[in-house]
Amino acid sequence: MKNYKIAVLAGDGIGPEITAEAIKVLKVIEERNDVTFELLPAAFGACAYFEFGDAFPESTIAICDSADAILKGPIGLNHEDSKKIPIDKQPERGALLPMRRRYNTYANFRPVSLPKALAHFSPLKPEIIGEGIDIMMVRELVGGLYFGNKEMGVNEQGIRYVKETLEYDETQISRIMHQAFKLASKRRKLLTNIHKSNVLKSSVLWNEILEEIAPQYPDVKVVHQLVDSAATNLCLNPGQFDVMVMENMFGDILSDQGGGILGSLGLMPSACIGPDKAYYEPSHGSAPDIAGKNIANPYSMIGSVAMMLENSFDMADEAKNVWNAMQAVFADGYSTADLSKAGSGVKMISTVEFGDKVVEKLRLG
Ligand code: IPM
Ligand code: MN
């Protein structure tokens, strides 16, 4: 019998609601496999700040350190409420980035996946969607502008200025490239490299390292694409992409666009993998406007559980079953109010009902 410890950080806004549904799924997996999941809930985000004065308190750090994997809900407050927390203690800067740094989770996998059962959510025309969209965005997560030196002040002329540094060294670039190449060789053997080497030196080095590594993966075809052009192509012809690799900031922006072409960021789970620890989180925010209404779809959180099963617990078959169960619920015509308008022909259900239906399908499969 395997016993895994999972730190469960439900987060802010809709976080606790969608986390509760993800836990139901873990229970089903536990029931029918030779495995136990020890769930270790811990405060993280704005809620932790208000309780402990710290968005990533020591007690949570200790729990995460001891866990085999971390399941993390969305964090953050709306623009106005954010002002109640000093800038450096706000959940993004005070919790999320420190977590990424602490566990060195440099490889962020964000599936942009639109199987037939979800096609009606997409704003793209059916002829553009074709047989569906199946992209894996690989985002470097602990370098670049996010983690470079930051400086803000007033210069000698009395003019306010800001300076942020975009820094990468070759080891940071090569490790994410290897992740992307390995994944590409398991999929369609097509890697699209996203860069901006016509302007940024960081992209020149990025591309140089890629060229050096590429011969180790002779079966993978590499296509280079400028980030701005990729943004257009994601809308015009998403089928041209399979695995995409990009630096941190490009990945932040293009992965949100990925959510856009699916129809909602609510359809974007993710895995953040480091050398010794991984955490799993939806790619979206805490949606304070719909929190507590039981209308948020838990897809991104349950999808994050599926990614955890596959990457941290070597349970790829169960991961597949979880994806299939969610798609089966959509295929039956169900949706939640965050994803669909009333009267749009879907059978509207709540967050909790969606979770229950996924569990039902999972038990069948
Ligand atoms: C994401 C989020 C974070 C990021 C924020 C919350 C700091 O937008 O995971 O994409 O920018 O990386
Ligand atoms: Mn983002």
Fold of 1-105+274-365: Isopropylmalate Dehydrogenase (3.40.718)
252 flagged as catalytic = yes
pLDDT (tens digit per residue) in 110-156: 999 999 999 999 999 999 999 999 999 999 999 999 999 999 999 99
Give yes or no for residue 17 CB within 6 A of ligand 1.
Answer: no
52 alpha carbon – ligand 2 mean position (Å): 26
Residue 99 has pLDDT above 90, yes or no: yes
Looking at the CA of residue 75, tell me the nearest atom of ligand 1: 6
Measure the CA–CA gap between 311 and 313, rounded to whole angstroms: 6
Helix (H) or strand (E) holding 103: helix 97-103
Chain segment 276-286, per-residue pLDDT in tens: 999 999 999 99
Task: State the pLDDT at residue 365.
Answer: 77
| One-letter amino acid for residue 38 of the chain | E
Q: How confident is the model at residue 189 (pLDDT cuts 50, 70, 90)?
A: very high
Q: Is 169 a catalytic residue?
A: no
> What number does the ligand 1 atom closest to the CA of 248 have?
12
CB under 5 Å of ion ligand 2: residues: 252
What is the residue-averaged pLDDT of the chain?
A: 97
Q: Whose CA is nearest to atom 1 of ligand 1?
A: 283
pLDDT tens-digit profile of 261-319? 999 999 999 999 999 999 999 999 999 999 999 999 999 999 999 999 999 999 999 99
Buried b (16+ CB within 10 A) or exposed e, 180-207: bbebbbeeeeebbbbbbbeeeebbeebb
**Alpha carbons 332 and 132: distance in angstroms, whole number:** 18
The reply to whether 1-105+274-365 and 114-264 are identical in fold is: yes
Question: Per 3-state DSSP, what percentage of the chain is helix, strand, and coil (rounded to 5)?
Answer: 50, 20, 30
Taking 90 as the threshold, does the pLDDT of residue 9 lie above it?
Answer: yes
Contact in structure between 67 and 5 (CB atoms under 8 Å): yes
Which H or E element spans position 216? none
Residue keyed to tokens 């983690």? 147
Distance CA 11, CA 203 (A): 34
Q: List the residue whose alpha carbon is closest to atom 6 of ligand 1.
A: 92
Cα(239) to centroid of ligand 1, in Å?
25
134 is known as an active-site residue: no
- Write down the domain spans for the chain: 1-105+274-365, 114-264
Q: Is the CB of 283 under 6 A from ligand 1?
A: yes
Q: Per CATH, the architecture of 114-264 is what?
A: 3-Layer(aba) Sandwich (3.40)
Q: Is 252 in the pocket of ligand 1 (CB under 6 A)?
A: yes
Asked if 287 contacts 74 with a C-beta cutoff of 8 angstroms, the reply is: yes
pLDDT-above-70 percentage for the chain = 100
